Amino acid sequence: MLYRESGQYKTNYADDQAIFPLKQDRWLMAIALVVAFVVIPLTSSEYMLQAVIIPFLIFALAAIGLNLLAGYCGQISLGTGGFMAVGAYAAYKLATSFPDLNMIVVFLLSGVVAAFVGIMFGIPSLRIKGFYLAVATLAAQFFLQWLFNKVAWFYNYNPSGTITAPPREMFGFMITGPAATAEARYMITLVVVVVLALVAKNLTRGHIGRSWMAIRDMDIAAEIIGIRPLHAKLSAFAISSFYCGVAGALFVFTWLGSVETEAFAITVSFQVLFMVIIGGLGSILGSFIGAAFITAVPILLTNAPQFFGFNMPIDLQKHFEVMIFGVLIIFFVIVEPHGLARLWQIAKEKLRLWPFPY
């Protein structure tokens, strides 16, 4: 009743190919954007922004990156953390070497650097696939982490070995560095994430995305209908790494402010993989849902015992958290192997008939 296409006529091709062909979807999207751009910065506390919302956005971006590769092109990668590190260190080097460069340009360029590294580590994908490829991408993860730890040039010979986001401003506001307010950092992250998510959505609807999906579904058939696996796979690696790289740059510049290589350890790669799988392989919306789930659950688990009045030692609680997290992953994988995005799809089908089912 509330959510159906009847009465919405499409009179030209542009309408037919719109990202959100339904009026209701457009309304929902508009409301979501208003909430994100106006309501959240006005109402959220500093803690909320810093601990929940900014990491959610950054991880959503990384999850979109991995989803383009794993969900759309079918190449599993465990090197996400490594590619994020490339983006972070590239952004640091760029921002410190060219202090006058616009920060948006810095973020995008660091994504480009990550894309090149991604292509290099994507070359094995031309010969292997599945778990062999997953293990091969672990090489990227460990090698890159080691590289950024060992070569002092990457952190400007800083004795502590950390990289710190230099203070930079844009439109008269500080957006990075210690003086930047959480709101300013949130806004810049949001703009980057929204624009890149839109680009990703369009990529997957177009020629490139379709060639990726063809490769994912059956590589030999794809080759026969004229898709070049070399181009499709390497472009998937490049664009995926670009997204991960930008996410890594934001990770340092608008979230933590100062990190070591440990921040991009293998656990980050797994976290992003969880987001993609729990959210839904091959769905941009799923990347956001998955990122929201994986960032929110640990926080809820940490706060739940106090909320219910239990008091337990910190270490015991930490172990419980890990346990429950594991159970939740198994649960979701069993109940909905296609991810939470699939639940939304089912809900939409139901809403078409609601409240008068046949």
Residue numbers at the binding site for other proteins (CB under 8 A): 70, 76, 124, 126-132, 135-136, 138-139, 142-143, 145-146, 149-151, 219-220, 229, 266, 270, 273-274, 277, 281, 315-316, 319-330, 333-334, 337
Comparison of 329 and 343: residue with beta carbon closer to other proteins:
329
Half-sphere exposure of 351 (CA within 13 A, CB side): 12
Comparison of 220 and 225: residue with beta carbon closer to other proteins:
220
End-to-end CA distance of the chain: 12
For residue 95, the minimal CB distance to other proteins (Å) is 25
Comparison of 188 and 263: residue with beta carbon closer to other proteins:
263
For residue 5, the minimal CB distance to other proteins (Å) is 32
Residue 164's closest CA among 175, 173, 174, 155?
155
For residue 330, the minimal CB distance to other proteins (Å) is 4
Comparison of 196 and 232: residue with beta carbon closer to other proteins:
232
Comparison of 104 and 139: residue with beta carbon closer to other proteins:
139
Show the CA angle centred on residue 348, arms to residues 344 and 349, nearest 5°: 120
Comparison of 184 and 273: residue with beta carbon closer to other proteins:
273
For residue 295, the minimal CB distance to other proteins (Å) is 16
The H or E element that residue 298 is part of is helix 284-307
> What's the CA gap between 208 and 68, in Å, rounded?
11
For residue 229, the minimal CB distance to other proteins (Å) is 6
For residue 61, the minimal CB distance to other proteins (Å) is 21
Comparison of 37 and 320: residue with beta carbon closer to other proteins:
320
Q: What are 174's strand-pairing partners?
A: 169
**Hey, what are 226's tokens?**
């004229």
Comparison of 75 and 254: residue with beta carbon closer to other proteins:
75
Tell me the residue length of the chain. Answer: 358
For residue 102, the minimal CB distance to other proteins (Å) is 34
If one counts every other C-beta atom within 10 angstroms of the C-beta of residue 151, the result is: 10
For residue 155, the minimal CB distance to other proteins (Å) is 14
137: left (phi > 0), else alpha (psi -120 to 50), else beta?
alpha
Torsion of CA 348, 276, 240, 185, to 10 degrees: 90
> What's the CA gap between 25 and 38, in Å, rounded?
20
Cite the beta strand spans of the chain per DSSP E: 163-164, 168-170, 173-176, 258-259
Contact present, 19 and 202 (Cβ < 8 Å) = yes
Residue with tokens 């090149």: 116
> What's the CA gap between 338 and 265, in Å, rounded?
27
